[in-house]
Structures are given as C-alpha cells and as structure tokens.
Amino acid sequence: MVMPKSEKAFLRNGEQGIYAHVVGWGMAVPDTVMTNHDMEAIVETSDEWIRTRTGIAERRIASERDSTASLGLRAAQRALDVADVLPTEIDLIIVATSTPENIFPSTASLIQHRLGAVKAGAFDLSAACSGFVYGVEMATQAIRSGSIATAMVIGAETMSRVLDWQDRSTCILFGDGAGAVVLQASNAPGGVLSAVLRSDGSGADMLSIPTVGSEDLSNSYFLASEHRMFKMYMNGGEVFKFAARVVGESILEALEKADLTLDDVSLIVPHQANMRIIQSAARALKLDVSRFVSNLDRYGNTSAASIPIALCEAIEQGRVKENDNLVFVGFGGGLTWAAMVLQWGIPQGLEGYSGSRIKRQRRRAMYTLAHWRTRLLRLSRVINQFANRLLGRDEHPEE
C-alpha cells in the first residue's frame, strides 16, 4: 500500500503507526413520519415543489419522549453492539449537534452516564452540519497520538425544535435523527486516511440559530434579516451556491492529502441537504450520481446526523466493502465544511461484527447499572445535604 502524505508526516523515525478504524456504527430515528402532504397543512407549499426543489419526500419528527440525547443514546448502543465493545472501554465521547439538550451539561455527558461509560471524557462539538466529520477527525487525532484507544462519535439532532414553522423555505428541509460510530486504534494501516476542516465566519449570517450570549440581534451581523432567538434562519440561495462550490473542492483536497484520486473512491457519503446540491457536486467532479449515497428523500436534512445515518444505510444495503475507499463530506452553518477519506475494513484483532452474546448481555447490564447508579448518586447527594442541614454542619467548611 502506498503511504499517503499525511502518513509520512505522522510516522517519524520508523515509528509504528497507530491508525483509527471505524469498528461499529448505528442509527436511530423517531417513529413519527411527516410527509410533504402533512407539510401542506402547515405552510403554503406542495409535495411537487418540495420534491423537485429538494428531493425530500418525508422526514422524521421527534415526539415529546424523544430528545437529542435519547436518539444519540440509541444510535450509540447500536454502534457498541456492532463493534462488540463495552461502554467501560470507551475513552472519549463526542456529540456533534446544533440542538443540544442544554448549553451545559453537554449532551455527550448525558449519553456518557446513560451508557455507563465511566472512563470516558465527553463533550459536544458545534460545527453545524459539518460537525460529524469534525468529530471523527478529532477522535482520530486523539487515537493516532496514542492518547486514547476507543472513541464514540455521535451526530444527533432534534432540528424540528429550532425550526420556524411559519418559514416555508426552511421548515420543509429538516428532520430529526442520530447516527454514531465507534473508532478504535490498530497498528494495521487503513481507517481514516485524511481530512480537511474549514470555516468561513464571514458567512455567519447566512445560516444561524442565535442563542444566549448572542449579540443584540438588531445591532450585529444579523442586521437586515429576520433572525429570531432560538430559531433557525437561512438564506437558502446563498447557502446553495456555497455548498455546490465547497463539496467538490474539499473532496479533491482530502483525496490529494491521502495521495488518492477520484478513481480510487468507491462511495461518497455527503451531507444530506438537497438532492440538487449532490447532483451539482457530481457534475462538477464528472462522477455518476450513483457514486453518492442519498437518503434525503426519507429523512430530509438531519444536520450533524445525516452522514452517519447515510453511512449506516449504505452498509446495510451492502454498498460498503472491505478495503473500499470512502469519502465523507459535510457543509453548513459557520460557515463550515469538511471532507474526509477513509479506507474501510475492520482489522483482525479488533472485535467488530462478532457480537458475542455474553458481551451483549454485559452491555445491557451496564446500561441498567448506569441508570440505578445515577439515581443512587443523586439520592445520596440529597440525603447528605439534608443531614448536613439537620446537624447544622457547614457544607462548605473553610480549609
């Protein structure tokens, strides 16, 4: 195998390389389906307009019981089953999301404790629809540096909760869902080969969800547009032009970094925003559109979740094979964009696929234990505070 440029830079003085391989994957979407016809009852639109301008036919909408963490948790549990990894083996959990449960605690921390991943660090990553690729690259670098061995990267969103349901040009585009991958260290070459991460904050006003800590909306870069606190605003036409340009460019850049060409690529898993953006990228790269995975007809744009969900479905459909070179490419608010090249395949020695029954049962037991551990810890804190007050003890004694 020819060593990509990024590899040569990484391996110094004949060191043995550490590679980050995807060994597990999983997805979760809410049960509720909202079709374009359902949308006609909410805003002035038509199934025909939405299909021809976007390629979307339906999307999933979170119920009151669903949340960004609950969808992310389900996707993560499925990814652990495929990888046959225990929650206690995870060193790092990254949740890419634009719809976190809170500003803090992070959605990643909520998922970490529900999994019972007691040895994992956890944080949320904000890079809008590019967030999943950013997250996989961060996890890869942590693995390749030797600092960690196992990471979980999740893209999870409840976009339906930040949509302006009176704005027909945005509310028809988005849906809810989550996807996750487990990455593990191995000395076998392959896995993530290269990545390009980019940002252009001058386009911040094109796609945004202002929140606490925001500048005065009437007195900032939001001026002259209809930005509203906690609601998504988008300049669709400008975002379309930006996306159509960066998808092709960043794919070529990531391939160059990996010393590969488009001929070496089996499948491109793009962010699922609009079928016309995918078609335009295919035209620019002179590729048949069948080389791109697309499932946005059924899910719409699920932001940071769209690439891992599309990946899971492509694997399920048998479109991803051992040693295939794949490309992930994302773009969105920031503006941000990112592309990544991976060589697919689970090296020998890493668990993957086997799904041993005993480990599966241990994982289930750990989830139950995590549930009760949290309850007990919270209860013990309440009892401690109560006892301290009763006994007149100072809860914060000076040193």
Which residues are annotated as catalytic?
129, 271, 301
d(CA 151, CA 123): 12
Q: How many CB atoms lie within 10 A of CB 87?
A: 24
* Phi, psi angles (nearest 5°) of residue 326: -115, 155
What is the three-class DSSP state of 303?
A: helix
Alpha-carbon span 388 to 397, nearest angstrom: 11
Cβ proximity to ligand COA: between 185 and 234 the closer is 234
**Is 332 one of the binding residues for ligand COA (CB under 6 A)?**
yes
Nearer to ligand COA, 163 or 346 (CB): 163
- How near is the Cβ of 287 to ligand COA at its closest, in Å? 20
Which lies closer to ligand COA via its Cβ, residue 70 or residue 303?
303
Give the list of residues 6+ apart from residue 178 with CB closer than 8 angstroms, or none.
Answer: 27, 28, 29, 68, 71, 72, 74, 75, 154, 155, 156, 157, 305, 308, 309
User: Rule CB under 6 A: is residue 362 a binding residue for ligand COA?
Assistant: no
Q: Is 96 in the site for ligand COA (CB under 6 A)?
A: no
Three-point CA angle 370, 371, 375, nearest 5°: 110
Q: How many residues interact with ligand COA (rule CB under 6 A)?
A: 20
Contacts of 197 (CB under 8 A, 6+ apart): 127, 130, 133, 134, 137, 336, 338
Interface residue with ligand COA among 98, 140, 184, 301 (CB under 6 A) is: 301
Q: What does the alpha-carbon distance between residue 389 and residue 393 come to, in Å, rounded to a whole number?
A: 6
Tell the smallest beta-carbon distance from residue 200 to ligand COA (Å). Answer: 14
Which of 36, 158, 274, 325 lies at the binding interface for ligand COA (CB under 6 A)?
A: 274
Is the Cβ of residue 140 or residue 306 nearer to ligand COA in the bound state?
A: 306
Structure tokens at 207: 């796609």
Query: Is the Cβ of residue 241 or residue 359 nearer to ligand COA in the bound state?
Result: 241
Residue 129 in the binding site for ligand COA (CB under 6 A): yes
**Contact by Cβ (8 Å): 282, 292:** yes
- State yes or no: residue 281 binds ligand COA (CB under 6 A): no
> Site for ligand COA (CB under 6 A): which residue of 169, 214, 266, 295?
169
Report the amino acid identity of residue 363.
R
Residue type, 239: V
Question: Which residue's CB is nearer to ligand COA, number 209 or number 234?
Answer: 234
Q: How far is the CB of 332 from ligand COA (least distance, A)?
A: 4
Contact 154, 75 (CB under 8 A): yes
Q: How far is the CB of 197 from ligand COA (least distance, A)?
A: 16
Binding segment toward ligand COA, per CB under 6 A, in 6-14, 49-57, 148-156, 213-221: 49-57
Instruction: Tell me: does residue 54 bind ligand COA (CB under 6 A).
Output: yes
- Both tokens of residue 173? 């585009």
CA dist 122 and 106 (Å) reads 8
Report d(CA 286, CA 279) in Å as an integer.
10
How near is the Cβ of 395 to ligand COA at its closest, in Å?
Answer: 47
Q: Closer CB to ligand COA, residue 153 or residue 307?
A: 307
Binding segment toward ligand COA, per CB under 6 A, in 16-24, 48-56, 70-78, 367-375 = 48-56
Question: Which residue do the tokens 């925001």 mark?
Answer: 214
Contact at 8 Å (CB) between 297 and 36? no
| Alpha-carbon 330 to chain mean position | 10
Sketch the per residue contact string, 177 through 216, with ligand COA: x for CB under 6 A, - otherwise.
Answer: ----------------------------------------
Inter-axis angle of helices 357-390 and 107-115, to 10 degrees?
110
Query: Whose CB is nearest to ligand COA?
Result: 236
Q: Scanning residues 232 to 271, which ones bind ligand COA (CB under 6 A)?
A: 234, 236-237, 239-240, 243
Single out the segment in contact with ligand COA by CB under 6 A; choices: 29-37, 43-51, 110-118, 148-156.
43-51
Question: Which residue ranges make up the site for ligand COA (CB under 6 A)?
Answer: 45, 49-50, 53-54, 129, 168-169, 172, 234, 236-237, 239-240, 243, 273-274, 301, 331-332
